[in-house]
Structure 1
Amino acid sequence: MIHIIKDKKTNIEKLSFELVERKGVGHPDTICDAIAERASRYYSQYFMDTYGRVAHHWFDKVMLIGGLSQIEFGRGELIKPYKVIFAGKGAKTYSNDNIPLYNILFKAAKDVLGEVLTGFDATKHLVVVDEIVNYHGAGRSNSRYQPMILEDLASLDRTDLVSNDCNLLSSYTPLSTLEMLVLYTEQYINGKLFKERFPETGWDVKLVGSREYEEYKLLINLPFIAGKVDSVDTYFQLKNQIYKDIMTFIYDNFAREVQLTINPQDKNGKYYLTALGSVADTGDVGVVGRGNRINGLICPMRSMSIEAPSGKNPLDHTGKIYGYLGEKLSKQIYQEIGKPNEVHIFTSKEAPLEQPDHVSVHIQDWDDNELERENIRRIVEESLREVHGISGEFIYGDITMW
């Protein structure tokens, strides 16, 4: 059922106060999201390459237990490795074939950590624990996680798949100015240009932005690589250069004054030094689903789902599929009518993927008219008819949900 509603809620840009957070790509929670999704992608690709179909699985219970480091100015060494624990369900065999599950999981962890840690060496810095099981649930046959014939695997061409769960997803468009400030600044800091300019910085960047009327504030926790910073003086010299660089980026892209604070704790002698660039270097723990929502932000003043999509089955888990679909729908509707909107999707278990129980579109600042209603309904109906194609995007594309 499709609902199109004129939303009388105040546009967030008109509220007197707003808060937004983002955990950067090197934060332990974000790392776990990335590892879980990479594992699902590699696993699905292995099955597609080998058998032309995908085995049912979910790897969305990943935990990262940080290592132990020796850190001082001019020196940083990880002396106890990271431990990545995979828990979930998946096929370990197909017919008489053994699936190289551990190798797939290890590669996923190795590749992600290698992208967001400076000096990471998987042979020294990584231990992977495989706790994936192949037990079937109530009402399910053994073939779900112990497939024996080709028909036990799912084809990307199937259009009769049903929802694997009961889910409620929420999305919205557009991002507010503050949300864009937080998201794009983190992407800049962890982007190629900034890292080439400041290789002394790590990837575990956390940003919290606030807005009180038209006064914007941005707090950034930014790690430094201890081995690349030889003294307190060098630390503060770099910090001053980085401050100026980020302020230039903000002004060039947002043309507004922002009160920027970087690493406020270091004024008390608590310098943000790391071995490889993350608080996980000193034992911090990460878990899937504790960080950014699917749009890359944590926005407590917005409608958002607590669904953790990373690592879930890309063929029929609606907590993943509809989360991405909701984002696409909201953006398409905004492009069509130019109005802020929210999209909420609810499905019950076993419902056909193209027939969720409810799709509710809430539109702000809107002069309700029948033509736009018809266009919105058309966008929703067309997207639902094409929902099965999203699975291929998850497996072969570069969708990011954190």
Structure 2
Amino acid sequence: MLSIERDVRSVEDLPYELVERKGVGHPDTMCDAIAERMSRYYSLYCLQEFGGVAHHWFDKVTLYGGGADIDYGRGELTSPYRVKVFGKAAFRVGTAEIPVRDLMFRAAADVLREVTTGFDATRHLVVELGVVDHQGSGRGRSRYQPAGPEDLVPLRSGGLVSNDTNLLHGYAPLSRLESAVLGLENLVNGPEFKRRHPDTGWDVKVFGSRRQDTFSLVVNMPFLAAHIDSMDRYWARKAAIQTELETFVRESGIADFRMLMNATDRNGRPYLTALGSVADTGDVGVVGRGNRVNGLITPMRPMSIEAPAGKNPLDHTGKIYNVMAMRLAQQVHEKFGGPTQVHIFTSKEAPLERPDEVVVTAADADEAAVKALVESAVAGTDDLTAELIEKGVTLW
């Protein structure tokens, strides 16, 4: 059921706005990335070995940080990261075993290697499994205990139904503040910045607020202890980085702003880590506590509390419709301009191509054209599932 609402207000018209982004090296974001990589590796293995995907979900990942010896000019992990994954999955297809533990370890290791500096999985990682193959209420035995490849679901097989009851949201375009917050973290953790500033860490958190047209930005970014040999060196490097970030903000079109960098060092101690994250020293991460699908935490916007990372890409609408709502909002905005919101509601067992409700809020949109965009999107759920597995979609 599609409905179009015309009453939409731009977030730019609000007198006050707040936005946050947890960077790729933040423990919560690490968990999102690990959970999603686990789902992808598991799905790809099943496709390669059996021609279909076994039902699974790995969206309950936690990361218990390690321990580190940190001082000026020295940073070394002394206790490993511990990744715990809780969920459900098939452990075998008939008599053929699925190497779940190996897949989970490889997924965690690959992600952590990408978002830290100097990570060595053989020394720095322990993965603990809390995954079971128990049958759910109202489900057949073949769902998590398939007797053979015929019990698995091939890609683009059609006819699937929603695995849950979900409410999802998307909106477009990003506000000036949202673009600045997202852009700052993407810049600092981007490959070019890291090549120019190899002493910078990955656990970057950016906060932003706007009062009318005055902006305030807070950037927290650790440095790698091995590269910082004194407090004077720390202050110098921090000042250089902040100057570059302020230039980026000005060039993005924001003139009236102030920036606070590394508020934690107001106690006179530098913000240093061993590998680039507070996970080095025992901080904990959990799936779903960080960014939404568009990469931001936006309390002034409609925002789903679904944690899509690690969910089954075959039929879990908490993942599929989350991405769909965001993309639909962007498509409607690009076609008709103005602020756009998309809300999708579905109930358990509803066909994937027929969600219970789709509400599009756009002031100047043509109804027939919006209907065509929505119908194309929901008809393409099989393609979206294939994209999630084969190419990957960033959900944080």
TM-score by length of 1: 0.97
The answer to whether 1:179 aligns with 2:173 is: no
Q: Indicate yes or no: 2:376 matched with 1:385.
A: no
1:7 aligns with 2:7: yes
Equivalent residue, structure 2, for 1:95: 94
In structure 2, the gaps of 5 or more residues are none
Residue 328 of structure 1 aligns with an amino acid whose one-letter code is R
CA contact (8 A) 2:40 2:392 kept: no
Give the match for residue 399 of structure 1.
393
Partner of 2:314: 315
The corresponding residue for 2:229 is: 230
Task: Find the aligned partners of 2:294 and 2:94 in 1 and give their Cα distance.
Answer: 39
1:216-235 per-residue CA deviation (whole Å, 9 max, x = no partner) reads: 11100101111111100000
Runs (4 or more) in structure 1 with deviation over 4 Å come to: none
Amino acid across the alignment from 1:32? C
Aligned to 1:49: 48
The within-5 A match list for 1:235-384 is 235-363=234-362, 366-367=363-364, 372-384=366-378
Deviation at 1:352, TM superposition (A): 0.3
Higher alpha-carbon deviation: 243-252 or 25-34: 243-252
2:160 is the alignment partner of 1:166:
no
Q: Per-residue deviation at 1:319?
A: 0.3
Segments of 5+ residues of structure 1 without an aligned counterpart are none
Q: Distance in 2 between matches of 1:117 and 1:137?
A: 38
Counterpart mapping for 1:126-145 below 5 A: 126-145=125-144
Task: Determine the C-alpha separation between the residues in 1 that align with 2:264 and 2:352.
Answer: 49
Deviation at 1:255, TM superposition (A): 4.7
1:367 and 1:49 map into 2 onto residues whose CA distance is 47
Deviation at 1:336, TM superposition (A): 1.2
1:367 Cα deviation from its structure 2 partner = 4.6
Q: What is the DSSP-based 3-state SS (H/G/I as helix, E as strand, rest coil) of the residue aligned with 1:135?
A: coil
* TM-score, normalised by the number of residues in structure 2: 0.98
How far 1:192 moved relative to its partner? 1.1
- For the aligned residue pairs, the C-alpha RMSD in angstroms reads 1.0
* Residue 191 (structure 1) aligns with: 190
Residues of 1 paired with 2:96 and 2:364: CA distance? Answer: 60
For the residue of structure 2 that corresponds to 1:154, the secondary structure is coil
SS at match of 1:259: strand
1:254 CA drift (Å): 2.6
Q: 1:233, 1:376 → 2: CA distance?
A: 58
Moved more, 260-269 or 178-187: 260-269
* 1:304-339 Cα distance to aligned partner (Å, 9 max, x none): 100000000011000000001111111111111112
Give aligned-pair identity as a percent: 54
SS of 1:118's partner is coil
What is the alpha-carbon distance in structure 2 between the residues aligned to residue 388 and residue 398 of structure 1? 14
> Is the CA contact (8 Å cut-off) linking 1:181 and 1:254 kept in structure 2?
no
Question: What letter corresponds to residue 124 of structure 1 in structure 2?
Answer: R
**2-structure distance, mates of 1:128, 1:118:** 19
For 1:42-121, list aligned pairs within 5 A: 42-121=41-120
**2:209 alignment partner AA:** S
User: 1: CA distance between counterparts of 2:138 and 2:360?
Assistant: 34
Amino acid in the other structure paired with 1:374 = A
Q: Quick one: distance in 2 between partners of 1:84 and 1:367?
A: 48
